[in-house]
Homo-oligomer: A and B are copies of this chain.
Amino acid sequence: MSLARFLDLADFSAEEVRDLLALAERLQHHPEPQALAGRILGLVFLNPSLRTLASMQAGMARLGGTSFVITPGQGTWALETRLGVRMDGGAAEHIREGLPVLASYCDALGIRAFAEGKDLAADLAETNFRAMAALVDKPLINLESAVNHPCQALADWKTLDDERVPERAKFVLSWVPHPRALPLAVPAAALHMAALRGHEVVVLRPEGFALPAPIMERARAAARASGGSVSETDDRAAALAGAQVVYAKEWGATDPYGDAARDAELRARFGDWQVRESTFARSAPDCRLMHCLPVRRNVAVADEVLDGPRSVVLREAHNRLVVQMAVLYRLLK
């Protein structure tokens, strides 16, 4: 299997994902430091990054390739993404020129572009990312789009493998507090990944934060294919009972979506959804805590959990490097 694009884990069957992870394992234990010699990866970050920024550069270097980073608005012109507009504002360059040009300088391009968080239909349709992807005629990697983060999902899958979490285990995707609304990309990707891996997946979220129906439905379809299940609840005790994994994640209110005032009002009620040791005490003593990072300590998850033995967040982050090397290898070798 060689790849032309890595945009969405849902483009792959569970078997194809396992095949990619087997390559990741192979490269981890049998390095190929010259595999991508002479190959160049361009990285476009329309939003901040730490893991993706560092691990993509490190991954290319470990395979003998190189990369360059473009951060529009920081040393580079701000990019306009809307079509047909009269560009008399702050953005000096349009993606219609910027992205094909960058693609023409490299062998593969990665793009990070968060959700605008205003128009749910547009975000669910990946309108922005799709418009950008259509401009790139090179291998392309989704470094996080409006409602997707396939590199994170792949790293999380490998982490579940590393932790020997059985495929039928109960996996709870739990909404956790945050000072402000965050995108749906990671919750959507983690939910789909867990469903595709075959878990008994429970989406645990308070009133007003239900994941949009298309995201739930997509996960249910993956679960049907893999023999898993997907349900949702706002009952923390029920959700956590017997859980083997809690995947903590912050996201914005969805009912309605993109209303900052309503979001703030809602989230003010649920500060006690922070994950603490007591969250696990009774019903899930051996449960692992996953989080994609960055995490707001003592807001989303308590120090005691992050610093304790159930946290596998550092392994997840390290696995970003490991799995992305496999993606780069498939795209560029």
- Which A positions have Cβ atoms within 8 angstroms of B? 31, 33, 37-38, 40, 42, 45, 48-51, 53-55, 57-58, 61-62, 64, 66, 68-72, 74-77, 80, 83-88, 92-94, 96-98, 100-102, 104-106, 179, 293-299, 303, 306-307, 313-314, 317-318, 321
Contacts and interface: CB of A to CB of B under 8 A. Distances in A.
Contact of A296 (B48, B83, B87): B87
Contacts of A49: 75-76
Contacts of A94: 294-295, 297
Contacts of A295: 93-94, 97
Interface of A is mostly: mixed
A90 to B, nearest CB: 9
A295 B88 CA distance: 11
A118 B55 CA distance: 35
B62 A48 contact: no
A38 B299 CA distance: 39
B76 A68 contact: no
A29 to B, nearest CB: 15
A38 B62 CA distance: 6
Nearest to A271: B88
Which of A57, A64, A72, A297 has the most chain B CB atoms closer than 10 A to its own CB?
A297
29 contacts: A33-B37, A33-B38, A38-B61, A42-B58, A48-B77, A49-B76, A50-B72, A50-B93, A53-B68, A53-B70, A54-B68, A57-B66, A58-B106, A66-B66, A74-B74, A80-B297, A83-B303, A85-B298, A88-B299, A92-B294, A93-B295, A94-B295, A94-B297, A96-B297, A97-B293, A97-B295, A97-B314, A104-B318, A105-B318
Question: Most chain-B Cβ atoms within 10 A of its Cβ — which of A66, A295, A306?
Answer: A66
A75 B48 contact: yes
Contact of A48 (B31, B76, B317): B76
A58 B96 CA distance: 20
A71 B48 CA distance: 11
Contacts of A61: 38, 40, 66, 68
Contacts of A314: 97, 100-101, 104
A101 B51 contact: yes
